[in-house]
Chain A
Amino acid sequence: AQTVTQSQPEMSVQEAETVTLSCTYDTSESDYYLFWYKQPPSRQMILVIRQEAYKQQNATENRFSVNFQKAAKSFSLKISDSQLGDAAMYFCAYNGGGADGLTFGKGTHLIIQP
């Protein structure tokens, strides 16, 4: 079974600084999909960014980018110019392309210091 590990239960960053959230996963698949979801205090799950394993280029969405290292099975999220609205739980998730859904990590609580 696939596993997703987020080793940082909590991270803190100053507003306007850059922060990186780490994620590693374990799989024997060669094609799969990785996601970062944000969960603010409202509890809504919001997609931040996705990465297809067959793409070598790292995905970017405005201030959010990933560092995808397929051989190392690492998928970190970098948030540039952190804003107060970025404060949330962040979940890394894996999907092997099958009918089953996502395997999630346990999450990282991101605190933004004003």
Chain B
Amino acid sequence: EAQVTQNPRYLITVTGKKLTVTCSQNMNHEYMSWYRQDPGLGLRQIYYSMNVEVTDKGDVPEGYKVSRKEKRNFPLILESPSPNQTSLYFCASRVGLANEQFFGPGTRLTVL
């Protein structure tokens, strides 16, 4: 089944404790993105990637890192999480520039 998977689905952590949210897609898509969703703000893009080793900042990149060492994986790294990073995070992928994005199931992150 074609899908985007994220892990963990739920995470509660404390300020300053490094964490990684994994994202993997099995569709051989070139393009991948991370978004955060906050009430009243919709989804905002954090980082995106055009291919292996090629990444760029989205609209809200502060406090986040990403890597793209393999085509299928695009982990999101929070080196020192803070409470304002409490949010619902989505990973997405697409095969080409003109195509719709396929979204993962989301990761609910709470930073205390």
Contact = CB atoms under 8 A, between A and B. Distances in A.
Interface string A1-22: 1000010010000000000000
Q: Interface of chain B, helix or strand or loop or mixed?
A: strand
Interface string B88-112: 1010101001101101011000000
B105 A44 contact: yes
Contact of B45 (A6, A47, A100, A107): A100
B100 A101 contact: no
A107 B92 CA distance: 18
Interface string B31-55: 1010100001111110010100000
Nearest to A45: B103
Contacts of A102: 33, 35, 43, 45, 92, 101
B58 interface: yes
B42 A106 contact: yes
**Chain A CB within 10 A, most for which of B92, B101, B105:** B101
Nearest to A37: B103
A17 to B, nearest CB: 26
Interface residues of A, number: 25
Q: Interface of chain A, helix or strand or loop or mixed?
A: loop
B56 interface: yes
Interface in B42-90: 42-45, 48, 50, 56, 58-59, 88, 90
B48 A44 contact: no
Contacts of B98: 33, 52, 95, 97
Interface of B: 31, 33, 35, 40-45, 48, 50, 56, 58-59, 88, 90, 92, 94, 97-98, 100-101, 103, 105-106
8 contacts: A6-B42, A33-B98, A45-B90, A91-B43, A98-B97, A101-B33, A104-B42, A106-B42
